[in-house]
Structure 1
Amino acid sequence: MCGHQPICPTAYSADREASHVISAHPDQGWSLLCNGVVLFEDTGLLLPDGSIVAPHREPIAA
């Protein structure tokens, strides 16, 4: 799916969030990455096969 050089990580690799954004919708809180992953602003992910990755944002220090 990716035409970038070097090729972006796949949707199932550990560094999948390093892929390029091909469609950003900050008003709706999500972006589509070139590897088919939907990245939500809370850092949750929707993978191309429909599986999810729970949000993993670092807690804010008080």
Structure 2
Amino acid sequence: MGDELLIDRDGVMLPDVSDAIAEALICAQVQRTPSKGGASGRRRFEIVDDVGKLLATVPID
């Protein structure tokens, strides 16, 4: 409910999934803002490989 997918077509190439998860957590901290009541749904980063295969999901709420 309320989920919206924003695709970063440029992305960031990292050597492995653990580095990608660490980068997602850092980005989540930088982007975190207090909720103003209008945002609903769960936010997360989906980490994919170069062909789009889902490798990990990192919740950022």
Q: Tell me the TM-score normalised to structure 2 length.
A: 0.26
Name whichever structure is richer in helix by fraction: 2
| Structure having greater relative contact order (Cα 8 Å, sep ≥ 6) | 2
